[in-house]
Chain A
């Protein structure tokens, strides 16, 4: 059985825990892997209230951490022969995921199960694999 295109949505560093499972899934279903991190303004705006850091500093840190995760997945995926593309976007996670599903004909979405991403299970236009 083939699942042509899988979209992995990354939220934070805890997602590292599912990278090897994602790669194995891609190998099993011979899938191309799209890896997505979304810079959400609402998420960025929450942090200064807790840490008193400047919004721009927080934004840079979140973006950089996002890129680190993107490249970490890619490193594992490429080592295992999985075709991968990395995507950093701005917007809302639900909106960007919907755009990607439409534009790139994504067959299924992979998300690490957590409270913050629960709503994506409901809003996703394609089946969701929760790990």
Chain B
């Protein structure tokens, strides 16, 4: 059965108003949210895996989107977390724009295939300006989930 991103995005994993103003603080806030909601079991291990990747590449893919991601055994399954920032966070995107929509993807080390497929599907989805617009204008968690579900084929 084909992987669907919406299957890995739980309502509790949607953060409608990220307070962080910089990349590292944003990742810390996302990690904290994951640990609080039992999506991750090791705060430090998860943060370190994400930060290591951020040091080596820009996960800001442009057009106001960032997709920080890592494979780490700090999570037990593939997990997707959505966060929205009203002021934008600098994820060092090549277009120079801050990121207002942030999707974090984390998976255990042994789920590389699913992880790559999830990243690919999400990246393709977020290239559509209509989807980005809908996500920026959504009012609540449920709408975010609906937007993802509706737009993934």
Instruction: Check if B121 sits within 8 Å of A71, measured CB to CB.
Output: no
A75 touches B71 (CB 8 A): yes
Q: Chain B residues near A123 (CB, 8 Å)? A: none
- Least CB distance from A82 to B in Å reads 7
User: Could you say which residues of chain A place their CB within 8 Å of the CB of B149?
Assistant: none
At the interface, yes or no: A28 with Cβ under 8 Å from chain B? no
Is B53 interfacial (CB 8 A cutoff)? yes
A63 CA to B124 CA in the complex, in Å?
7
Q: Which of A64-118 contact B (CB under 8 A)?
A: 64-65, 67-68, 70-72, 74-75, 77-78, 81-88
In the bound complex, residues from chain A placing their C-beta under 8 Å from that of B124 are: 60, 63-64, 67
Q: A64-B121, A71-B120 are in contact. Are A85 and B153 (CB under 8 A)?
A: no
State the interface size on chain A (CB cutoff 8 A).
21
* In the complex with contacts A60-B153, A75-B112, A83-B119 CB distance below 8 A: no
The one of A72, A78, A83 in contact with B116, judged by C-beta atoms closer than 8 angstroms, is: A72
| Segment 63-94 of B: residues with Cβ below 8 Å from A | 71, 94
Q: How far is the CA of A91 from the CA of B151 in the complex (A)?
A: 24
Interface residues of B in 42-67 (CB under 8 A from A): 52-53, 56-58, 61
Which residues in chain A, 25-82, are within 8 Å of chain B measured between CB atoms?
60, 63-65, 67-68, 70-72, 74-75, 77-78, 81-82
Q: How many residues of B contact A (CB 8 A)?
A: 18
Expressed in whole angstroms, the Cα–Cα distance for A71 and B120 within the complex equals 7
A85-B58, A86-B61, A87-B94 given as contacts; is B52 within 8 A of A78 (CB)? Answer: yes
Instruction: Tell me whether B153 and A67 are in contact (CB under 8 A).
Output: no
B61 and A68 contacting across the interface, CB-CB below 8 Å = no
Task: Find the residue from B57, B112, B119 having the highest chain A CB count within 10 A.
Answer: B57
Cβ of B21 within 8 Å of any chain A Cβ, yes or no, is no
* 5 nearest CB pairs, A to B: A67-B120, A68-B120, A84-B57, A71-B119, A67-B123
A-B contact pairs, 29 of them (CB 8 A): A60-B153, A63-B124, A63-B127, A64-B121, A64-B124, A65-B120, A67-B120, A67-B121, A68-B116, A68-B117, A68-B119, A68-B120, A70-B120, A70-B123, A71-B119, A71-B123, A72-B116, A75-B71, A77-B56, A77-B57, A78-B52, A78-B56, A78-B57, A81-B56, A82-B56, A84-B56, A84-B57, A85-B57, A87-B94
- Besides A68-B116, A68-B120, 6 more A-B contacts (Cβ < 8 Å) are A67-B121, A68-B119, A71-B120, A72-B116, A75-B116, A78-B56
